[in-house]
Amino acid sequence: MDRHPAVPYGARAWAEVDLGAAADNVRALRDRLPGGTKVMAVLKADAYGHGAVAAARRLLSEGVDMVGVGDSSEAIELREAGVTAPLLVLGAVVPGEVEKVVAYGVAASVHSHSRVDLLARAAEALGKRAPVHLKVDTGMGRLGALPGTAVPLARALAENPHLSFEGVATHYASAASPVPFQTSSQFDGFRRVLDDLRREGLLPPLVHASSTAAVLGTLREHFSMVRLGGGIWGIDPGNLEGSGIPLRPALSLRTQVIFLKDFPAGSPIGYHRLFETARPSRVATLPIGYNDGYAWGLGNRASVLVRGRRAPVVGAVSMDYTTVDVTAVPGVEVGDVVTLVGPDGDEEVRVEELARLLRTTPYEITCRLGRRVVRVHTG
């Protein structure tokens, strides 16, 4: 059996991020699209926990056209790391961030006339022309202008000399649903808005709505640009099976055995005596806990990989440590690498598996990874 290399940087826990897999996933998804469709790499939440700066550099080198982020701080981090490509803040830009967003040439999503005025005043003061995208709420129910207000808002953007109206977008709420009624309804509503903008001569060059789930789904029209997020990292948005698109998981989460202890039957393990050994047991302590993103709810439910075999998590996951039963794994030693997400030998733990145990989305698993988890980028 192949053993993992030495622990990187002496880390307590680390995430190996295969940027080659991410690039392959973008190519596989792009092959599903009509020629000429632009691709935005959505790298919000530190690229879903994978490391936004390294991801942006690699994916832009592969021909991605734009990077989307969740808020202004994420855009500013990329700019200050030297990323000069077009950036779009997909969420709201709050007043205290407007000047820096405009100064750094970051595009902002606009949802109201008050935000139009705020951006225009900042751009005028800085002698800039700020790029903006109009977001239309066709059924998500969060940010975005309602369809009936889209045309006057677009006109305000197009006629303002301090703004550059470069895009219009909407956000599908249920693109991975096996019952695609809502997505079809949102598509039709967005199409009507686009027709209205076209009649008024207000349609901007970039039109985007589709996420990874929409690209994998039943829609066959994705406008001029798509927004790829979790699919870049090989995460199933809920409708990957049967799509025929091969996506590879890009992240492996690993730690190490730091202590081994033999217990007699009837020994309590961890907080609140949530586990008690039913037999003489060998228990390994791992230096990773819920502060690092390995959720408390995985206690007594998940398993990890040690020497290519599954070992159950026993007792409560604590803030800094997790305990696993390695009684059935021969030869375990302090210093052995432990895989919490990813492959080891013939076995694999996927983020989708942990998400099912926690009854959450797989994206939450990777976004939870804490700052103590060292990101090791490969590929």
Going along the chain from its start, the domains and CATH numbers come out as 32-233 (3.20.20.10), 251-378 (2.40.37.10)
Whose CA is closest to 299, among 286, 316, 287, 283? 316
pLDDT at 6: 59
pLDDT at 39: 98
Contact between 250 and 48 under an 8 Å Cβ cutoff? The reply is no
pLDDT at 79: 97
Contact between 1 and 336 under an 8 Å Cβ cutoff? The reply is no
pLDDT at 171: 96
Cα dihedral value 159, 162, 165, 171, nearest 10: -110
List per-residue pLDDT tens for the chain, 379 residues long.
345 555 666 789 999 999 999 999 999 999 999 999 999 999 999 999 999 999 999 999 999 999 999 999 999 999 999 999 999 999 999 888 999 999 999 999 999 999 999 999 999 999 999 999 999 999 999 999 999 999 999 999 999 999 999 999 999 999 988 767 789 999 999 999 999 999 999 999 999 999 999 999 888 899 999 999 999 999 999 988 888 899 999 999 999 999 999 999 999 999 999 999 999 999 999 999 999 999 999 999 999 999 999 999 999 999 999 999 999 999 999 999 999 999 999 999 999 999 999 999 999 999 999 999 999 999 8
Residues annotated as catalytic (active site), given as ranges? 44, 271
pLDDT at 9: 66
Which two tokens mark 160? Answer: 């303002």
What lies within 8 Å, CB to CB, of 245 at 6+ separation is 28, 29, 32, 216
Helix ranges restricted to H, the chain = 19-30, 44-48, 52-61, 72-80, 98-103, 113-126, 150-159, 181-199, 212-216, 351-358, 362-367
Q: CA 54: distance to chain centroid?
A: 14
Rounded distance between C-alpha atoms, residue 333 and residue 341, angstroms: 20
pLDDT at 8: 65
pLDDT at 187: 95
pLDDT at 241: 86
Contact between 277 and 265 under an 8 Å Cβ cutoff? The reply is yes
pLDDT at 7: 67
